[in-house]
Amino acid sequence: MKPTHPDTAAPADAAERRNIRPVICYPVETLPPADMDRYRALRAGLTPHSSILVPAREARCFHVPAGHVFRIRSVEGPQVGDLNLWNAHDLSERFYSGKTRALHGTHLSTGDRMWSSFPHLRPMATVIHDTLDWYGFDEYGGSVHDVIGTRCDPYTHNLLSHGGQYHHCCHSNLTRALSDETGLPLHVAEQHVHDVLNVFMCTGFTRDTGQYFMKASPVRPGDHLEFLAEIDLLGALSACPGGDCSAEHSSDAAACHPLLVEVLAPAPGALDSWTPPPANGYDRSHGR
Ligand SMILES: [Zn+2]
């Protein structure tokens, strides 16, 4: 955080320097476009493929073939979810929260992509429907579906609580789920768990101190977020022990609810001539 009383006196031209207008770091107009007309039309012909109910304070894995849709749905009560994605055939290609944030902003909605890690850097999934898109940004600067948080984890909790041992943080939930799905030992699976998309979570940065905040999610049963899988995906979703994240996480105090993941198949022919995005075109010579 910035000091209330800086050690360094402001220079004479401080106001002039502060008044420089910002520019967008990454204008996204030149990115490979998502065919949103086609993706939206696809929604009308979807048929159930598989589904899994993620229990409260637990995580589960799911597979989504390329060109299929997955839908994360609130059931029973307000609940946020922490989402990890991997290439189903190569766990080293995984969701890259930081670059997704740099490209699409702090909170995702329809038309935004979930980008994969270097050296792959390609869309893994595209948001095609969001029943909370009406929320926008509230008066606190908060919004839903952030890529600014990381995931609640037992290490940070241990430090903040002076030695606490809590095992149902999203990090541990995702670790157990990935271990169960792949057969990898826990400590190996843990290395593949990464910063998440915080589905339904309402977050922002305080305007005065720039601190990460959360507030009760506006999600209600029936709300959902839908994605088109751009490549074959292995996903993992944790129903966060923070519940709607109105008060705290990393404890069993919050009211928690399950989340439903539905995988849906497109109608025959709906994606004719569509192909998954190619691997990134950078030659990886790094100038040598
Ligand atoms: Zn969590």
Residue 53, helix vs strand vs coil: strand
**CA 105/CA 147 separation, integer angstroms:** 8
Task: Compute, in angstroms, the gap from residue 198 CA to the centroid of ligand 1.
Answer: 8
On the question of pLDDT at 204 being above 90, the answer is yes
From residue 56, alpha-carbon distances to 69, 75, 255, 262 in Å are 23, 11, 9, 17
**Cβ contact 244:144 at 8 Å:** no
Q: How far is the CA of 10 from the centre of ligand 1 (A)?
A: 40
- Residues of the chain with pLDDT > 70, as a percent, come to 100
* Average pLDDT for the chain: 96
Predicted local distance difference test score (pLDDT) of residue 253: 87
Q: How far is the CA of 272 from the centre of ligand 1 (A)?
A: 38
Ligand 1 centroid–CA 239 distance in Å is: 7
Distance from residue 201's CA to the centre of ligand 1 (Å)? 10
Statement: residue 153 has pLDDT above 80: yes
pTM strictly above 0.85: yes
Whether pLDDT at 197 is above 80: yes
Lowest mean pLDDT among 105-109, 120-124, 185-189, 272-276: 272-276
Task: State the distance from the centre of ligand 1 to the C-alpha of 9, rounded, in angstroms.
Answer: 41
Q: Give 233 Cα–ligand 1 centroid separation in angstroms.
A: 21
Residue 249 CA to ligand 1 center (angstroms) comes to: 7
Residue 118 CB contacts under 8 Å (≥ 6 apart), including other chains: 96, 280
Cα 216 to averaged position of ligand 1 atoms, centre (Å): 14
Amino acid 249: pLDDT? 77
Q: What is the pLDDT of residue 127?
A: 98
Q: What pLDDT score does 252 carry? A: 85
Question: Tokens 């990134």 label which residue?
Answer: 280
Mean pLDDT of 141-165: 96
pLDDT in tens, 11-44: 999 999 999 999 999 999 999 889 999 999 999 9
**Please, what is the Cα angle at 270 between 267 and 275, to 5 degrees?**
125
Question: Hey, which residues does 86 pair with through a beta bridge?
Answer: 94, 234
The rounded distance, in Å, linking the Cα atoms of 255 and 190 is: 26
213 CA to centre of ligand 1 in angstroms: 14
Averaged pLDDT for residues 198-218: 96
Contacts of 86 (CB under 8 A, 6+ apart): 93, 94, 95, 192, 233, 234, 235
User: Beta strands 113-115 and 123-130: pairing type?
Assistant: antiparallel
In the chain, pLDDT over 90 holds for what percent of residues?
95
Cα gap 275→49, rounded to integer Å:
20
CA of 152 to the centre of ligand 1 (A): 4
Please report the pLDDT score of residue 251 as a whole number. Answer: 79
Q: How far is the CA of 169 from the centre of ligand 1 (A)?
A: 5
Q: What is the pLDDT of residues 66-107, one digit of tens each?
A: 999 999 999 999 999 999 999 999 999 999 999 999 999 999
Residues with CB under 5 A from ligand 1 (ion): 152, 170, 240
Q: Is the per-residue pLDDT at 266 higher than 80?
A: yes
Confidence of residue 248 (pLDDT cuts 50, 70, 90): confident
What's the CA-to-centroid distance between 114 and ligand 1, angstroms?
A: 19
- Residue ranges in 34-169 assigned as alpha helix (H): 36-42, 97-104, 154-160
Q: 26 CA distance to ligand 1 centroid (A)?
A: 29
CA–centroid distance, 66 to ligand 1, in Å, is 27
**pLDDT per position as a tens digit, 117-128:** 999 999 999 999
Ligand 1 centre to CA of 179 (Å) is 18
The band of 250, judged by pLDDT with boundaries at 50, 70 and 90, is confident
187 sits in which H/E element: helix 186-192
CA 230 to CA 102: how far, in whole Å? 20
